[in-house]
Amino acid sequence: MTVGLTFTKSARRVGIVAASGTAFLGAVYVATLIAGLLSLRSLQQPIPDPLFSFLEIEILLLMPLFVALMVSVHAWAGAGAKVFSLMALVFAGVLAGLTSALHFVILIVGHQAAFSKLSPLLLSFKWPSVAYAIDILGWDIFFALCVLSAAPVFSGGRLATTIRVLLATSGTLALAGLSGVVLGDMRFRNIGIVGYAGVFPSTAVLLAILFQQSPPQNACQAERPAVS
């Protein structure tokens, strides 16, 4: 059963690769986003291609790694914390489905002439639009629920405690991004972006280190040994 998943050698390898890949793609995404913003004459303008398309592709590549990372978190969790890690894994799957479908559609059909008249209301990231609302649902709600659920999994040592604090911080900032919807001002959504594009990639680096330091378990082991 999935609930009984343990931190085997395979789970450890997957965790290290997924955490490292998540951190790397997160850094690439931030660099691409900064380059796109610096290319604008006004922040009211959309990020131009090819940088915008690169951002879409990076998100699509990131999502399988993010889900794999949460599978490894679930495997790493001790028996008493697996209810939280399983919640995190489910929320990660919802996020991946929502954001992958959204950004794939934008990447494939967003530039088609047939959608040019509808794109401001459907596929643009100018509020209000359907695409923007789905993106907020994914990142400001389900990402936040994912990392906030994962936070209680980590305790018992300095590294694990640091990861716990960063996950809680990332999730709280993501939720705070919803203030942009409440206030009708998407500038406040930047608070959430700091959470998932800034804090979380740093957390993924620490997760890779934690998984590297954690000895694999066999199927009979249930409790997680402390890692300093």
User: Rounded CA gap, 32 and 117, in Å?
Assistant: 28
Residue 222 covered by a domain: no
Of residues 133 and 223, the one with the higher pLDDT is 133
Question: In what helix (H) or strand (E) does residue 154 lie, and over which residues does it extend?
Answer: none
Residue 56 covered by a domain: yes
- Whether 164 and 199 have beta carbons less than 8 Å apart is answered as no
Looking at 5-19, 58-72, 103-117, which range is the least confident one?
A: 103-117
**What residues make up the domain containing 165?**
8-212
Count of domains observed in the chain:
1
Looking at 3-17, 19-33, 146-160, which range is the least confident one?
A: 3-17
Buried/exposed code over 161-171 (b: 16+ C-beta within 10 A; e: otherwise):
eebbebbbbbb
Looking at 57-71, 123-137, 141-155, which range is the least confident one?
A: 123-137
Residue 79 covered by a domain: yes
Mean predicted confidence (pLDDT) in 185-192: 90
137 token code pair: 């649902």
pLDDT of residue 109: 82
Question: Could you report the per-residue pLDDT of 86-142, keeping only the tens digit for each?
Answer: 999 999 999 999 999 999 998 888 766 666 666 666 777 777 888 889 999 999 999
- Whether 59 and 99 have beta carbons less than 8 Å apart is answered as yes
User: Rounded CA gap, 145 and 153, in Å?
Assistant: 14
- Whether 206 and 166 have beta carbons less than 8 Å apart is answered as yes
57 token code pair: 């592709």
Residue 218 covered by a domain: no
User: Rounded CA gap, 67 and 71, in Å?
Assistant: 6
User: Rounded CA gap, 32 and 53, in Å?
Assistant: 10
Residue 223 covered by a domain: no
| Mean per-residue pLDDT over the chain, rounded | 88
Instruction: Tell me, rounded to whole angstroms, the distance of Cα 187 from its chain centroid.
Output: 20
- Whether 212 and 159 have beta carbons less than 8 Å apart is answered as no
Residue 148 covered by a domain: yes
Residue 225 covered by a domain: no
pLDDT of residue 2: 43
Looking at 110-114, 195-199, 224-228, which range is the least confident one?
A: 224-228
User: Rounded CA gap, 37 and 138, in Å?
Assistant: 22
Residue 180 covered by a domain: yes
pLDDT of residue 49: 82
